[in-house]
Structure 1
Amino acid sequence: MTSTSTRPGRVRRSLALLGALALATTLAACGGDGDAATSDSGKPVLRVGVQKDGIRAILKQAELLEDLPYEIEWSEFTAGPPIVEAASADQIDVAWVGSTPPIFGAAADADFKIVAAVVERDSHSDSVLVPEGSDIKSVEDLKGKKVAVGRGTSSHGMLIKALNRAGLGLDDIEVNYLAPADGLAAFTSGAVDAWVVWDPFVTQAIQEADAVEIAGGAPDDNGLQFEIASSKSLEETDTREMIVDFVDRVRQGFAWAVDNHEAWGKSWAEESGLPESTTTVVTENKKSDVGPVTDEIIDASQHLADLFTEAGELPTKIDFASIVEPGIVK
């Protein structure tokens, strides 16, 4: 897929917004003493980890946060890897992450489980971006180049798969492991030759910085993401029931968004400070379905994990199926 067909637009707005999108604003999280926390109103509290990913906006706009039998305590993170760490430390109960953070979490013996799959219908979560006018036209052209990517993120997974398809490995490029805000700065300053990142960063970089996508979507990206949960939270009966309810609300939210992506985009813009011209493009692209983690998903994820192990990026081989918790979503 090319940037002109999948991520259109050349809207000029402040690039500071993209940097702001990547900043962590981790909110206070309840400690994990084995019991569900209780709010001042007497309701139990569900601790939900988010990024600037539009999850709150989609649930709010779809009216799925009304009349909750519990209160939600939101904690915001820059990317998936610290979310997995927070779940492992029992600082959050449930969260949405990309395809790769659970793999790195499993390799680090993190104490969490995958409870549902979120699959984008266009199979396009991440993209390889280069500056306009770059002589890099394909993944093969990345050999010997400086490439920014977030370590352990879905973009890291997309990159290793794209390189593998091109007969290359991570050793054939100069990898700069950078968080989104730092990746943006390196990309726009010319400190790196390419940037591998996810939406909404992709769309905004194309709109604001004239970035060009040279790879994205199948076969290097399957649009796969996950809902994860703290193992301790799943073991606590009341919290597990809240997680089941919340994940079902996320499922309903994405189903609602299929026919209401513009309303979702507007709400996401209000929440995040991103231009509505960006968020409405992203929500159109992010039509997704939430469901159980199938054998096919496990096989694809195991293949990705094996690629990382073979590349020396993981300390040990993992068994992806062992981190899947069935029964949370039907």
Structure 2
Amino acid sequence: MRPPVSSRAALATLALVVLSAVTACGGNSTGDPAPGQGGGAGGKKGTVTLRIPDPGNAGVLARGKQDGSLDKALAAVGAKVAWTGSAGPFAPAAQAMNAGRLDIATGSITSGITSLSQSPGFVFFTATDPDPVGEGILVRSDSGIASVKDLVGRKVAVNKGGTGEYLLLKALAQAGIPADRVERVYLRPDQTAAVFNAGQVDAWAVWSTYAVAEIGTGKARFIADGASIGSDNYSLNAVRSGFVKEHPEVVEALYAYLHENSAKEKKDPARYLNVFTDAGPTAVDGKAKDVQISFTREGGTVDPIGPEDIKRFETVARFYADHGVTPAKVDIASHLLDIEKLS
């Protein structure tokens, strides 16, 4: 386990995640304060505004929003949150940070690498170890597909340049199968479930955000997970470069909150589910809830980016270049922030 920030971590009794996920924002909502300035209801003059995508109904950020603990942690360093847009894929969030419309986003190293190839205006400041059980190659339980080798000649849904494409290519390489022996079907993750369940693709390379609901029905299963694939697919938090230069103390406090509360979530996952509602499309229940709890317990915590992480990031960057996902190996090192040496 990587160590937390010491003296500055104590500034706030501290949580952020991510989830899942990955985070997105299409732009500033009407009335959002300008970057780094106060404003809005209850805003104090001189208060720094940190724009983060709304966390939805689960995770550390959702709990922090619901119980006020995130507000308290940031207030200790003269900052407050403006919830902007909603969580989703990293690519549009990266574009929003590049355009100065968003300050924080969460995504995978795989989607991060493709976004870094496009004049990035952000840096990564945390790392969460690859998910050993919540990501992988998903098939329908009645498909007759028993292993990665059975995918030859079949269609697999992936999100282009992101976690899905990485997981499929990695699984095929692990099994010694040339990538062109399997047809990649590029789909947005939030549009794939219907296609998968209708049998229009034979498998889905996916992560827990979307896998939980499918496995929870009992009608889908992994034929390979992150551990068996040998995935190096870290989850990362990114911050807009201009924001961290102007307000390093806010980023430190945010990291400290993330680190401490992600450890709490790992110990008690159920507390971080159905934070605002236990009904409707954003809620999880039944077997899906049990699946999510087990995945979270096996997952990592939000930690600083260390030398051992950077080596694995470089491995992913080389893998993407070798498979033509990026035109050349993306420089990662110059876009990483050592949160423990920030100030």
**Aligned twin of 2:184:** 175
**Aligned twin of 1:127:** 136
Match of 1:57 among 27, 47, 62: 62
Distance in 2 (CA, whole Å) between partners of 1:187 and 1:273 is: 20
**Aligned twin of 1:249:** 257
Distance in 2 (CA, whole Å) between partners of 1:183 and 1:108 is: 26
Match of 2:240 among 230, 244, 266: 230
Distance in 1 (CA, whole Å) between partners of 2:260 and 2:22 is: 27
1:319 matches 2:331: yes
**Aligned twin of 2:270:** 262
What's the offset of the Cα at 1:181? 2.3
**Aligned twin of 1:28:** 28
Instruction: Name whichever of 301-310 and 22-31 sits farther off.
Output: 22-31
Given the two structures, how large is their TM-score scaled by the length of structure 2? 0.79
Distance in 2 (CA, whole Å) between partners of 1:23 and 1:327 is: 20
Q: 1:37 is aligned with what amino acid?
A: Q
Change in 2 beyond 3 A, CA 1:49/1:328:
farther
Distance in 2 (CA, whole Å) between partners of 1:184 and 1:87 is: 29
1:45 matches 2:49: yes
What's the offset of the Cα at 1:166? 1.3
Change in 2 beyond 3 A, CA 1:147/1:329:
farther
SS of the equivalent of 1:159 reads helix
What's the offset of the Cα at 1:34? 8.8
**Aligned twin of 1:7:** none
Change in 2 beyond 3 A, CA 1:116/1:23:
closer
Given the two structures, how large is their TM-score scaled by the length of structure 1? 0.82
What's the offset of the Cα at 1:23? 12
What's the offset of the Cα at 1:28? 3.3
Structure 2: unaligned runs, 5 residues or longer: 1-20
SS of the equivalent of 1:95 reads strand
What's the offset of the Cα at 1:274? 2.2
Change in 2 beyond 3 A, CA 1:49/1:172:
farther
What's the offset of the Cα at 1:243? 1.9
Distance in 1 (CA, whole Å) between partners of 2:252 and 2:276 is: 24
1:276 matches 2:288: no
CA RMSD of aligned residues (A): 3.1
Match of 1:159 among 156, 168, 184: 168
Match of 2:197 among 170, 188, 207: 188
SS of the equivalent of 1:218 reads helix
Instruction: Name whichever of 305-314 and 255-264 sits farther off.
Output: 255-264
**Aligned twin of 2:107:** 97
Q: 2:38 is aligned with what amino acid?
A: T
SS of the equivalent of 1:314 reads coil
Distance in 1 (CA, whole Å) between partners of 2:341 and 2:32 is: 24
**Aligned twin of 1:15:** none
Distance in 1 (CA, whole Å) between partners of 2:36 and 2:329 is: 34
Deviation string 1:209-246 (CA, Å, 9 cap, x unpaired) is: 6112101121422462111111122222x3x3222211
**Aligned twin of 1:296:** 308
Change in 2 beyond 3 A, CA 1:80/1:55:
farther
Distance in 1 (CA, whole Å) between partners of 2:260 and 2:26 is: 26
What's the offset of the Cα at 1:319? 2.2
Structure 1: unaligned runs, 5 residues or longer: 1-20
Identity of aligned residues (%): 25
Change in 2 beyond 3 A, CA 1:319/1:169:
farther
SS of the equivalent of 1:192 reads coil
Q: 2:195 is aligned with what amino acid?
A: A
Distance in 2 (CA, whole Å) between partners of 1:62 and 1:156 is: 37
Change in 2 beyond 3 A, CA 1:163/1:266:
same
Distance in 2 (CA, whole Å) between partners of 1:256 and 1:61 is: 16
Change in 2 beyond 3 A, CA 1:328/1:183:
farther
**Aligned twin of 1:76:** 86
Contact between 1:39 and 1:71, CA under 8 Å: does it hold in 2? no
Change in 2 beyond 3 A, CA 1:296/1:183:
same
Aligned pairs, number: 307
SS of the equivalent of 1:71 reads strand
Distance in 1 (CA, whole Å) between partners of 2:277 and 2:139 is: 26
Deviation string 1:166-225 (CA, Å, 9 cap, x unpaired) is: 122432211111112221111011111111111131111012261121011214224621
